[in-house]
Amino acid sequence: MKKEVILSGFGGQGVMSIGKNLVEAAVAEDLEASWVPSYGPEMRGGTANCTVIISDGRIGAPLVERPSEVVAMNRAALAKFESRVAPGGTVFVNSSIIPDKVSREDVTAVYVPCDEIASELGNPKVANMVMLGAYVAATGALKRETIEAMIAEMFTGKKAKLVPLNLEALHRGMECGKPA
């Protein structure tokens, strides 16, 4: 098993953070994982992206030319990375703010209205968690229970009240990502 995913969006949309979540969950499942951020002037431009690799074997190259999945949280991300997805791969599109459709026919497109769902749940900050749910459901890369346990660990003490909200966001995202 090997997943090579590029996650991209505006700074503040939490793409780096769900990238880290994928690594944490992979580690919890005794898999190998790596996370490489873009850094430097790119960051200052407002777009953030990271490359996450999850594998049941030793990870070689930590950057990928043809990712198995791309997670695009904004329009620029889709424009930049759609062409890079490996044939047969999957593109996750935050359809709340990306009006475009995936033009390639050799990849699967998963449209997730992350911001709309987050607003419905009353907290726009959980849009990334919706996307994480979609990714997990569509790829089957990681177990649902692992992610749920990770969320429970993420918010402790005063923040513990955020656990149900994030779980709800995750589950709503999973609905969107469920293979048809």
Partner 1 sequence: MKREIWKGSEAIAEAAIRAGCRCFFGYPITPQNEIPEYMSLHMPQSGGVFVQAESELAAVNMVYGAAASGVRAMTSSSSPGVSLKQEGISYLAACQLPAVIVNVMRGGPGLGSIQPAQGDYFQATRGGGNGDYRTVVLAPANIQEAVDLTQEAFDIADQYRNPVVLLADGLIGQMMEPIVWKERTPRTLPEKTWAACGRGNRDHNNFITSLLIDAPSCEAHNLELHKKVLEMEKNECRWEEILLDDAEMVLVAYGTPSRVAQTAAENLRRQGIKAGVFRPITLWPYPYARLREIAALDRVKGFLTVEMSLGQMLDDVNLAVAERKPVKFYGRCGGKIPGVSEVERAVQEAWKEVK
Is residue 124 close enough to count as binding partner 1 by CB under 8 A?
no
Nearer to partner 1, 28 or 109 (CB): 28
Q: Residue 121 to residues 126, 147, 150, 161, 163: CA-CA distances in angstroms?
A: 8, 19, 20, 14, 13
Return the closest-CA partner of residue 25 out of 135, 123, 130.
135
Query: Rounded CA gap, 38 and 43, in Å?
Result: 7
Minimum distance from residue 89 beta carbon to partner 1 (Å): 16
List phi, psi (to 5°) of 3. -115, 130
List phi, psi (to 5°) of 172. -65, -40
Give the H or E element holding residue 9: strand 2-10
The residues near 125 (Cβ < 8 Å, ≥ 6 apart) are 14, 118
Size of the site for partner 1 (CB under 8 A): 21
Is residue 86 close enough to count as binding partner 1 by CB under 8 A?
no
Is residue 65 close enough to count as binding partner 1 by CB under 8 A?
yes
Nearer to partner 1, 20 or 144 (CB): 20
Minimum distance from residue 61 beta carbon to partner 1 (Å): 4
Among 20, 80, 84, 144, binds partner 1 (CB under 8 A): 20
Minimum distance from residue 99 beta carbon to partner 1 (Å): 31
In the DSSP assignment, the letter for residue 40 is T
Minimum distance from residue 16 beta carbon to partner 1 (Å): 10
- Considering only residues 24 to 63 of the shown chain, the ones binding partner 1 according to CB under 8 A are 24, 27, 32-37, 39-41, 58-63
**Chain residues in the site for partner 1 (CB under 8 A):** 20, 23-24, 27, 32-37, 39-41, 58-65
